[in-house]
């Protein structure tokens, strides 16, 4: 009798384990397929504001970044950063090697370049309405994640494809300016 109770308990634990594993795989698949599908035609609305900030930061560092670097930069607990990095890693935008660092994949680099371009174009628009470069940069950080790529491309075109914004050089991409760069 004790053997059948133990066997039953083990069976329930084993099923629970498999259900949990399948759930994780499904979540990862959905994240990856969502990111993979937008990489050809991303809108810029796919990620949360924090993830946007982290990707821009990693891109601007131009090298492998440690979790503690991101934690210090954004004044966030390292465990929170680790969770967010894990989520970003499942999208295919970054590569994370524990205890080594975080780097952008080619898709991540393309996306981060757009995020930086969007930020700089939006802040340039705000400086033309009287905000200082610093004020514009702070203001844009609060709403940039809600401005789609097509709007950024139209703003860029209407501004004459500027090369400098209040926050730095504006790097154009072929979706907006096929003859730029």
| pLDDT tens track for 138-181 | 999 999 999 999 999 999 999 999 988 888 898 887 777 766 65
Provide the number of structural domains found in the chain: 2
Q: Quick one: 105 and 95 in the same domain?
A: yes
Q: Quick one: 68 and 108 in the same domain?
A: yes
Is 2 part of any domain?
yes
Q: Which tokens belong to 130?
A: 């009287």
Q: Quick one: 12 and 47 in the same domain?
A: no
Name which residue leads in pLDDT, 26 or 128. 128
The pLDDT value given to residue 21:
57
Question: What stretches of 41-77 show up as alpha helix (H) in DSSP?
Answer: 49-61, 67-74
Q: Quick one: 68 and 123 in the same domain?
A: yes
Q: Quick one: 99 and 81 in the same domain?
A: yes
* Listed residue (26, 46, 94, 25) closest to 66, CA to CA: 94
Q: What integer best gives the mean pLDDT of the chain?
A: 81
pTM for this model (two decimals): 0.73
């Amino acid at each position: 009798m004790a053997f059948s109770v133990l066997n039953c308990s083990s069976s329930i634990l084993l099923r629970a384990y498999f259900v949990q594993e399948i759930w994780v795989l499904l979540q990862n698949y959905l994240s990856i397929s969502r990111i993979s599908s937008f990489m050809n035609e991303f809108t810029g609305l796919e990620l949360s504001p924090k993830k946007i900030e982290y990707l821009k930061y990693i891109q601007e560092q131009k090298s492998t970044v440690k979790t503690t670097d991101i934690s210090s930069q954004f004044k966030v607990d390292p465990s929170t950063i680790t969770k967010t990095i894990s989520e970003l890693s499942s999208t295919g935008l970054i590569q994370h090697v524990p205890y080594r660092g975080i780097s952008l994949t080619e898709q991540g680099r393309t996306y981060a370049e757009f995020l930086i371009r969007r930020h700089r174009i939006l802040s340039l628009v705000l400086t033309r309405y009287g905000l200082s470069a610093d004020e514009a940069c702070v203001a844009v950080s609060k709403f940039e994640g809600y401005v789609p790529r097509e709007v950024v491309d139209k703003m860029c075109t209407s501004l004459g494809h500027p090369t400098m914004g209040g926050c730095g050089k504006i790097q154009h991409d072929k979706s907006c300016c096929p003859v730029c760069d």
